Amino acid sequence: MRELTYNEAALEAIAEEMRRDPKIFYMSTDALPPLLKEFGEQRVKATPITEAAFTGIGIGAAGCGFRPIVDWRQVTFCFVAMDQIVNQAAKIHYMFGGQVTFPMLFRASVGGGGLVAAQHSQSPYSMFMNVAGLKMFLPSTPYDMKGLIKTAIRDNNPVISFESSRLMGRRGPVPDEDYTIPLGQADVKREGSDVTVVALAWLVHEALAAAEELAKEGISVEIVDPRTLVPLDKDTIRSSVRKTGRLVIADEAGPTAGFSAEVAAVVTEDAATFARLKAPVKRVCALQVPIPYSPVLENAVFPDRNRIIAGIREVLDAKQPAAA
């Protein structure tokens, strides 16, 4: 099968959808050259650097029958548009009694690894998960990226595509034929029996490397990639944990009220899954700090395969939660 990079897979999905549906148009600060070349200025708009304004413009156009793609680029740039995202996009379908739909795709890159410091490195998806009315996903492979973007563009709700900065150039197989991946469907990236690792984006790859390493010792690691954050595929996560009895959650975001906290709750509040736990749940997350610049500091903040391995060893060594 041919290979594309993560970023190319996103652009290919968008271009294919734009060819299919003339109601789709694209807005970003600086028009993306390949899209601009094919679709022209009418459908690929370079905006002023005003995320608040062009996010709202996207909402209005969506309410009038268009299907805008609003590219915030770095997720940190969309914070100036929070009123439009939280008060408007997320709420208006509900607040107006469902009388009209607001189909929109928002794009935002997340994560670290670029040594660009705190205002250009962040993984704030849990802030958005906390807002009712937004769907969102964070793919780990070019294949998942293309299939999820296509589904999101066809969805009749605001959907955020969080895209890992570290994975932009990473290659992977992408079939020629048209396909989609449903939102809310996790993917078991590796089957195993001793411990479940729920990981996102770049950390899926780190977890796979960790699993290879531990396999040499006879430790069998199952890796679940939720892919979609909202709606979250609770069933796949729970059934994996019921099988292995142990859970490590790996996330490039900090732990506090984060994605990892949500997954831990999903597992522990389900009686059947809780009953199968052989060890406390372990979170392997970024430190709860703004992302620093110096390579030494940035590396100190983010989890990696070694910390995932340490986390797995911790849950394997742990005793079952005491009944006494």
Partner 1 sequence: MALSTNLSPDKQREMLRQMLTIRRFEERASADYLAGKIYGVVHCYIGEEAVAVGVCTALGGNDRIISTHRGHGHCIAKGADLNRMMAELYGRQTGYCKGKGGSMHIADFGIGMLGANGIVAGGISIVTGAGLAAQMEGKGGVAVSFFGDGASNAGPFHECLNIAAAWKLPMIYVCENNMYAAQTAAAQTHALPDVAARAAGYGIPGIVVDGNDVFAVHQAASGAVDRARSGGGPTLIECKTYRWRAHTERKGQPDPRDQAEVEAWKRKDPIALLERQLRDQGELDDPGLRAIEGGVMSALEAAVAFAEASPFPLPEQATDDVFAA
Residues forming the site for partner 1 (CB under 8 A): 25, 42, 47-48, 50, 52-66, 68, 83-84, 87-88, 92-103, 132-133, 135, 156-157
DSSP letter assigned to residue 49: S
CB nearer partner 1, residue 70 or residue 291: 70
Tokens of 324: 């006494």
Angle at 285 between CA 279 and CA 290, to 5 degrees: 155
Nearer to partner 1, 103 or 226 (CB): 103
Residue closer to partner 1, measured from CB, 33 or 48 = 48
Within 10 angstroms of residue 52's Cβ, the number of other Cβ atoms is: 15
Least distance to partner 1, CB of residue 116, Å = 25
Catalytic: 51? yes
Provide the minimum distance between the beta carbon of 238 and partner 1 in the complex, in angstroms, as a whole number.
Answer: 22
Catalytically annotated residue among 51, 222, 252, 262: 51
Burial class (CB in 10 A: 0-12, 13-18, 19+), 122: buried
Amino acid at 217: E
SS3 45: strand
* Beta carbon nearer to partner 1, 53 or 188: 53
Which is closer to partner 1, CB of 60 or CB of 175? 60
Q: How many CA atoms lie within 13 A of 120 on its CB side?
A: 9
Q: How far is the CB of 154 from partner 1 (least distance, A)?
A: 12
Which of 252, 271, 289, 260 shows the shortest CA–CA distance to 166? 252
Q: CA-to-CA distance for 49 and 74, rounded, in angstroms?
A: 12
Q: In terms of CB distance, is 54 or 302 closer to partner 1? A: 54
Dist. CA 220–CA 175, nearest whole Å? 30
**What does the alpha-carbon distance between residue 251 and residue 307 come to, in Å, rounded to a whole number?**
11
Token output for 31: 């028009």
Q: How far is the CB of 166 from partner 1 (least distance, A)?
A: 30
Q: Name residues whose C-beta falls within 8 Å of residue 109's C-beta, 6 or more positions apart in sequence.
A: 73, 74, 75, 162, 163, 164, 165, 168
Least distance (Å) between residue 90 CB and partner 1: 9
As measured in angstroms, the least distance from the Cβ of 30 to partner 1 is 15
- CB closer to partner 1, 95 vs 300: 95
Say if CB 194 and CB 220 are below 8 A apart. Answer: yes
Backbone φ and ψ for 304, nearest 5 degrees, come out as: -150, -170
Of 120, 163, 205, 222, catalytic = 120
Burial 69-94 (b: 16+ CB within 10 A, else e): bbbbbbbbbbbebbebbbebbbebbe
Cβ-based neighbours of 218, under 8 Å, separated by 6 or more? none
Taking the complex as a whole, the smallest distance from the CB of residue 76 to partner 1 amounts, in Å, to 18
> Which amino acids are annotated catalytic?
51, 120
